[in-house]
Amino acid sequence: MSIINVMWAGGLPFASVHKVHHQILSQAEPATPVKTWLLQGSKSVCQVDVGSVLEWNLTSARLKGRHLWRLFKPWMRSRFRQALLDSDARVVLLDGLGVARLLLPVLEGMPQIRVVVIFHGVTRLNAAGRELLRGFPASRLRIVAVSETLAKSLQDKLDLQVTVLRSAFDPGVFQSLLMSREEARTRLGLPPTGTRIFGAVGRLVDNKGFACLLEAFARAAASQPDWRLVIVGEGPAREALQARIAQPDLIDKVVLTGHLEDVAKLYRAFDWVLIPSLDEGLGLILQEAVLAGIPVLASELAVFREQLGDAGWYAPVNDEAAWSEAIVRASLASADAVAALQYQALAPDEAWLNFSQTSRQLISGSQ
């Protein structure tokens, strides 16, 4: 028996997805063979160790059956079927609806295999997508969402049971890898003392809300020469953000570090972590910051309130003035006290226990 973990691709856009799947698969029995399929891209660009990998090297046109590639669908499905048979797979994890569209028609005729489809974020479910999931044998299919908020949304759209698997980290392992405040600031080229550092982490894309954050920070830090904002990440919005940072009111106040492989170790460099996302399936950055003992100011999203409740500090989505005021209020609060309350609300030990138990049930097929 083996487990097949099917991912759309590797690289920065899929880093959080790979983290979640890696955590799930860590709960498999030690002797269980696990192989990851990458439909696009290579193992070398994955941000976590995904173990044994089969690279399919398929183009988007092939995967989505565009134009003439529609004619090749039967051939592709035959290849997938044979690879599944050769692997002796009994459990297949599918990364969201796009991968499910491709593999479920193949897996439907393979009754020896159980399927877990994992949704990581808001998904546009059209009639074909709903029919695909509803039509698969229910005894062999588990639909999973990485937060209660996302699960409820999916259940309303599908009228099917959705398992909540709120992503979590092993607190002891995560915290053992953290750098001290001084080490982390040195790594980022920041002064060890005398400067208030606000941090933000994520891909440089529009829905992460960094454009709003820059405007808000410019207002909040106008009379604060010792404040700095550090944004860790890379993405297509970099050029636009860099151009804004070069303006007089932000020059020398904001650092774009680019992508850093060891970002999970660096949270203690920050006094606060700011998460201005416009939408999120879960938001692993929130969990990582809280586990590191750093308070979080986040967008007023249901998925963030689900995790921190009244201990969270929130600002309206994409509201520059409100975010500016919230940053100022955060600067006046006791960061240690807020962090302690948020840690208690997140309850990382309990969250990890629940995640581990649910992951083992998904892999084993038990209820």
What is the rounded average pLDDT for all residues in the chain?
A: 93
Residue 73's pLDDT is what?
80
Within the chain, all domains assigned CATH 3.40.50.2000 are found at: 171-347
Q: Is the model's pLDDT at 309 over the cut of 80?
A: yes
Read off the pLDDT of residues 73-121 as tens digits, 9 standing for 90 and up.
888 889 999 999 999 999 999 999 989 999 999 999 999 999 999 999 8
**Coil, strand, or helix at residue 106?**
helix
Residues 134 and 238: their CA atoms lie apart, in Å, by 40
Residue entry with tokens 């919230």: 326
Residue 69's pLDDT is what?
60
Q: Is the model's pLDDT at 270 over the cut of 90?
A: yes
On the 0-12 / 13-18 / 19+ scale of CB atoms within 10 A, 52 is: exposed
Q: Is the model's pLDDT at 46 over the cut of 80?
A: no
Q: Give all strands of the β-sheet with 227-232 in edge-to-edge order.
A: 254-258, 227-232, 196-201, 272-275, 296-299, 313-315
Residues 345 and 289: their CA atoms lie apart, in Å, by 13
Residues 283 and 290: their CA atoms lie apart, in Å, by 12
The answer to whether 117 touches 92, Cβ cutoff 8 Å, is no
Within the chain, all domains assigned CATH 3.40.50.11930 are found at: 2-165
Q: Per CATH, is 171-347 categorized as 3.40.50.2000?
A: yes
**Tokens describing residue 205:** 């894309």
Looking at this protein, which amino acid is placed at residue 108? E
Q: Is the model's pLDDT at 66 over the cut of 70?
A: no
Q: Worst-scoring range by mean pLDDT, 50-64, 79-93, 334-348?
A: 50-64
Sign of CA dihedral 326, 329, 331, 337: negative
On the 0-12 / 13-18 / 19+ scale of CB atoms within 10 A, 66 is: exposed
Residue 350's pLDDT is what?
97
The pTM score is 0.92
Residue 336's pLDDT is what?
97
Return the CATH number of the domain spanning residue range 2-165: 3.40.50.11930
Residue 65's pLDDT is what?
64
Residue 365's pLDDT is what?
86
Q: pLDDT-derived band of residue 62, with 50, 70 and 90 as boundaries?
A: confident
Give the DSSP H/E element, type plus range, for residue 63.
Answer: helix 60-64
For 4, 61, 107, 268, 289, the CA distances from 1, given in Å and listed in that order, are 10, 32, 16, 42, 38
Read off the pLDDT of residues 213-265 as tens digits, 9 standing for 90 and up.
999 999 999 999 999 999 999 999 999 999 999 999 999 999 999 999 899 99
Q: pLDDT-derived band of residue 58, with 50, 70 and 90 as boundaries?
A: confident
The answer to whether 304 touches 314, Cβ cutoff 8 Å, is yes
% pLDDT > 70, the chain: 97
Q: Which residues pair with 34 in a beta bridge?
A: 3
Q: pLDDT-derived band of residue 14, with 50, 70 and 90 as boundaries?
A: confident
Q: Is the model's pLDDT at 68 over the cut of 60?
A: no
Mean pLDDT along residues 44-59: 82
Read off the pLDDT of residues 129-177 as tens digits, 9 standing for 90 and up.
999 999 999 999 999 999 999 999 999 999 999 999 998 999 999 999 9
